[in-house]
Structure 1
């Protein structure tokens, strides 16, 4: 079985966060969701667990950072092509997120954009064309 990753994120409004992640292409897995958490499936191996602040507090005693003001983590997600990068990023902006919070990256073989979700968590969406990657 391939390894899977579960990215756990604290959210201030579970319904709003769930709607945001649905809008950028994730699907809700009801088996691992309830009124304190939404399991959002990005792929067969990537899951984002959206957790209310009360639920988050059951896992750690550390305070929750305000990701709109403080840096906590930057997550990167691969995309099938440049168009998919733009579609995901634009969908984030159209659904309450903030787009291009970091400069766009276009190195020919690699293209990327970034966005903040509704809680300020930063995601980079990247496409790398390995056939165009410089040698050496």
Structure 2
């Protein structure tokens, strides 16, 4: 079996956050979703788990709290894209569906084009395309 990754993200409004990710073109798994969480399928090996903040807190040691919309960023999730245009499309769809552009798309270095958006709870998603024709 291939390894999978399940980022668990605390959210304030589960419905709104789920709609944001569906607006990016991802699908929800009804099998692993309920009133406390939504499983959003990014690919065969990536499933984002949106957990209502109270439910998310149940996975933390006593005294720890989820940090929604925090000024400091602990994680920048990066998702590969097939084209530069797909990067631009993800950023446009993020802004259209309740998120915001965090970093406009640009060429960071030759052959690497990326931009980043935040979801409604401030979680950062970078969308990146790497030109396969650039030699190593």
Provide the TM-score with structure 2 as the length reference: 0.92
Q: Distance in 2 between matches of 1:45 and 1:130?
A: 22
What is the aligned partner in structure 2 of residue 56 from structure 1? 56
What is the aligned partner in structure 2 of residue 89 from structure 1? 91
Find the residue that maps to 2:51 and give its secondary structure. Answer: strand
Provide the TM-score with structure 1 as the length reference: 0.92
What is the aligned partner in structure 1 of residue 13 from structure 2? 13
Contact 2:26 2:41 in 1 (8 A): yes
Please give the root-mean-square deviation of Cα atoms over the aligned residues, in Å: 1.3
Structure 1: gaps of 5 or more residues: none
- 1:68 to partner: Cα distance: 4.2
Find the residue that maps to 2:122 and give its secondary structure. Answer: coil
Matched ranges for 1:1-136 at <5 A: 1-61=1-61, 62-99=64-101, 101-102=102-103, 104-106=105-107, 107-133=109-135, 135=136
What whole-Å deviation, never above 9, does each CA across 1:45-66 have from its counterpart, x for those lacking one?
A: 1110000011101100311113
Contact 2:12 2:68 in 1 (8 A): no
Find the residue that maps to 1:9 and give its secondary structure. Answer: strand
Structure 2: gaps of 5 or more residues: none
Find the residue that maps to 2:44 and give its secondary structure. Answer: coil
Find the residue that maps to 1:84 and give its secondary structure. Answer: helix
